[in-house]
Amino acid sequence: MKMALKNKKPIIGVPVNHTPATENTSALFMTAEKYARVSMEISDTSPILIPAFGKETDFETILNTIDGLLLTGGRANIEPHHYGGQEFPADEIIDPQRDATVLPLIRGCIENEIPVFGICRGIQEINVAMGGSLHYRVHLLPGKNDHRMRRDTEIQAERFALRHEIALTAGGYLHKLLGKKTTKVNSLHAQSINQIATGFSLEALSPDGVIEAINLPTAKRFTVGVQWHAEWRASEHSLASKLFAAFGAAAHDHAKTYR
């Protein structure tokens, strides 16, 4: 069926995770449906998946196609050589192809004024891509709580349940967006931001001082990372829904300007 190619929605690129091939299985690209769905339903955009081809990625074509970049959570941690961290244990889950795909994409998006929204691993990717560093294991740091996913249940609603409050930086982007000083969020991460990348602002802290959100105030368009899983039932969470709406508005603005 021939269709009139008008009034297309902004395109949101969603990078996927990569699982290497084994003797018995093929290599896989994958991500959770919820990220694409929330970008479609709340951000009012059209999501496409970006394969994690690493250095083989056609970055120029992607940057000329997307109107926003949504960085998802993932089981693997960013390899520490990207931020000068200590070498991981041999059994650590890593995804070097995602690292090599996403980190250059983030820098390209920011340079080209394309909106970026990072969730969980995504906030860490933004920070590392722009020169910041990470803590390897938050719960091993003095005075910090255990922010990892619950292991005593396999029920998703329980694992993603609200766990603790966060304090929003007074006068910051998230504070202005929500109109409140605090809100409650879920918690499913082992790592966290250590040194915030130059130029980014601290937007939220957990009660034990873990960085929960950052923003690039000098960016022309939305460039935000949050440590919690904002995609989980986002329509039921005031700050999450406002963030996805703002991300969508920025993507629409980019599309009107460049498409």
Compute the half-sphere exposure of residue 209: CA atoms within 13 Å on the CB side of its CA. 9
Write down the catalytic residue from 125, 203, 231, 237: 231
Q: Which residues pair with 166 in a beta bridge?
A: 183
Catalytic annotation, pick one of 18, 189, 229, 254: 229
Q: What is the pLDDT of residue 8?
A: 86
Contacts 24+ apart (CB under 8 A), 174-180: 174/203, 174/204, 174/213, 174/215, 174/224, 174/239, 174/243, 175/203, 177/239, 177/242, 177/243, 177/246, 178/238, 178/239, 178/242
pLDDT tens-digit readout, 119-128: 999 999 999 9
| The dihedral formed by the CA atoms of 106, 54, 80 and 147, expressed in degrees to the nearest 10 | 70
Instruction: Report, as ranges of residue numbers, the positions in the chain whose pLDDT lies below 70.
Output: 1-7
Is residue 109 annotated as part of the catalytic site, yes or no?
no
Reported pTM: 0.94
**pLDDT value at position 114?**
99
Q: Hey, which residues does 135 pair with through a beta bridge?
A: 192
Check if 229 is active-site. Answer: yes
Residue 138's pLDDT is 84
pLDDT at position 7, please?
A: 66
Which class does domain 11-18+28-258 fall in? alpha beta
**pLDDT, mean over the chain:** 94
Predicted pLDDT at 3: 56
- pLDDT of 1: 58
27-36 long-range Cβ contacts below 8 angstroms, 24+ apart:
31/72, 31/74, 32/72, 32/73, 32/231, 34/231, 34/232, 35/70, 35/72, 35/119, 35/231
State the catalytic residue, choosing from 18, 79, 109, 120.
120
Q: What pLDDT is recorded for position 234? A: 97
**Domains in the chain: boundaries:** 11-18+28-258
